[in-house]
Amino acid sequence: MKINIKLTAILVIILSLALFVFTGCNRASDVLSIHMIDVGQGESILIITPNNKTILVDAGETPQGKKVKSYLLKHRINKINLLIGTHPHTDHIGGLSEIVNNFEIEKIMMPQKPHTSATFEKLLTTIESKGLTISPPQPNDIIEFDKDIKLHFLGPIKDYGENLNLWSIVFRLDYKNKSFLFTGDMEREAEMDLMDTYNKNNLSANVLKVGHHGSNASTTQQFLDYVGPEVALISLGSNNPYNHPHKEVITRLEESDVLIYRTDLQQTVVIFSDGESIWSHQIPVNKKNIPK
Ligand SMILES: [Zn+2]
């Protein structure tokens, strides 16, 4: 009888442990994370959905590709479901060849704008050598990317000739009640076109990835009012030759009570959302409280 009780007790412990390990491994988190990886003067943003699907937007200059690769590996990512090269400038697409060479890529999006730089041509060759093709997003395309995660492709909405910044892919990620707007290096003219094309509901966002590293050519007051963000993310290198971020942009954001995160001051910035609130373990550079 004693033995039976002991056996039962041991069995219960083993079963509970097994159940704990099983549920622990498979517990579906409901947290989306957005990682603005510090790539100096440039941009690279990793998005991980609650179901662990991944989007990588840009990968900084060519030498930064290795840093982005290490960051992904550190987060145990070996597959990228959607790789976006916002526009052909090297501070965005330079590191992408390293990524295409080292990860399984499901889909690649870049704007329909070729460029003649060696970096761009190398990227095209790398993509081709992996048997992949580039799909340019169509304006107003909506992709159900994952459960409760929708991607709304907004721009570029037209042919912008030789101004590569204006060709930037612009998209909004919606997760339940929260929205995140990604803008590449889009400048004033493209912002105006978006406001002419879409109503406020389509462009409003809780988090704005500020266009063009905080340059005054982007983030006009009108656009800021239209989007109405609570949080701004700015990717840039310290002491960059362009004096980014321009003080006019910082003033506009501060006067609109937007919490600012910057890679030049904070290195890699990570924000989280469960679709109802947004938070970070880091403190915004202009406030001493954590956004909720
Ligand atoms: Zn740039």
263: CA distance to ligand 1 center in Å? 13
Per-residue pLDDT at 49: 98
| Mean model confidence pLDDT for the chain | 92
Query: Mean per-residue pLDDT for 35-52?
Result: 98
- Distance (Å) from CA 86 to ligand 1 centroid: 9
Average pLDDT over residues 60-79: 98
CA of 154 to the centre of ligand 1 (A): 19
- Per-residue pLDDT band for 2 (boundaries 50, 70, 90) equals low
Q: Across the beta sheet with 259-262, what order do the strands follow? A: 142-146, 149-155, 170-175, 178-182, 207-209, 231-234, 259-262
Could you tell me if 51 and 85 are in contact, meaning their C-beta atoms sit under 8 angstroms apart? no
Reported pTM: 0.89
Q: Which CATH homologous superfamily contains domain 31-280?
A: Ribonuclease Z/Hydroxyacylglutathione hydrolase-like (3.60.15.10)
Q: How close is the Cα of 87 to the center of ligand 1, in Å?
A: 9
What average pLDDT does this structure show over 133-157? 97
CA of 91 to the centre of ligand 1 (A): 5
Evaluate if residue 142 carries a pLDDT over 80.
Answer: yes
Reported confidence tier of residue 21, pLDDT bands at 50, 70, 90: very low
Count of residues for the chain? 292
Mean pLDDT of 19-48: 79
pLDDT exceeds 90 at position 30: yes
pLDDT at 201 over 90: yes
Query: For the purposes of burial, counting CB atoms within 10 Å of the CB of 256, is it exposed (0-12), middle (13-18) or buried (19 or more)?
Result: middle
Q: If you measure from the C-alpha of residue 213 to the centroid of ligand 1, how many angstroms do you get, rounded to a whole number?
A: 6
What is the per-residue burial (b if ≥16 Cβ within 10 Å, else e) of 33-59? bbbbbbbbbbbbbbbbbbeebbbbbbb
pLDDT at 40: 98
Domains of the chain by residue range? 1-27, 31-280
pLDDT band at residue 29 using 50, 70 and 90 as cut-offs: confident
pLDDT for res 12? 57
From the CA of 30, how far away is ligand 1's center (Å)?
Answer: 31
Percent of the chain beyond pLDDT 90?
Answer: 87
Strands 79-80 and 104-105: parallel
Q: How confident is the model at residue 6, as a pLDDT?
A: 66
CA 174 to centroid of ligand 1, rounded, Å = 24
Q: Ligand 1: distance of its center to the CA of 61 in Å?
A: 9
138 Cα to the center of ligand 1, angstroms = 22
If you measure from the C-alpha of residue 128 to the centroid of ligand 1, how many angstroms do you get, rounded to a whole number? 24
**Separation of 92 CA from ligand 1 center, angstroms?**
6
pLDDT recorded at residue 25:
42
Residue 285, burial from CB neighbour count under 10 angstroms (0-12, 13-18, 19+): middle
Nearest CA among 173, 167, 215 for reference residue 190: 167
Given a cut of 60, is residue 51 above it in pLDDT?
A: yes
User: pLDDT at residue 135 above 70?
Assistant: yes
Averaged pLDDT for residues 199-206: 97
Q: Please state, in angstroms and rounded to a whole number, the distance separating the CA atoms of residues 117 and 132.
A: 20
Say how many Å lie between the CA of residue 239 and the centre of ligand 1.
15
Map residue 264 onto helix, strand or coil: helix
Over residues 222-230, the mean pLDDT reads 98
Report how far ligand 1's centroid is from the alpha carbon of 59 (Å): 11
